[in-house]
Amino acid sequence: MDYNENRGDKKPPHKKQINFKTCKNNTIKSLREVEYFLNNFKKFTRCMHLYKFFKK
């Protein structure tokens, strides 16, 4: 008998195996989303600059 089984402690869960293909696909999707956000953010800052300029 194992010492942990005597005490009634639960065994730690097994680690899931990493699927590198899905990790690669998720990373590529994330990078595309970040790039899209940054491009839109640049457009947004330009618009805000123009808005402040014309508001005065």
**Two structure tokens written together for 31:** 């990078």
Considering all CA atoms of the chain, what is the largest pairwise distance in Å, rounded to the nearest integer? 80
- According to the model, what pLDDT value does residue 15 have? 79
User: Among all chains, which residue has been given the structure tokens 């899905």?
Assistant: 22
Confidence band, pLDDT 50/70/90 cuts, at residue 43:
confident
Instruction: For residue 38, give the H/E element and its range.
Output: helix 20-55
Residue listed under structure tokens 């005065």: 56
Token pair of 47, please? 């618009």
Summarize pLDDT for 1-35 with one digit per residue, the tens.
Answer: 455 555 666 777 777 787 888 888 889 899 999 99
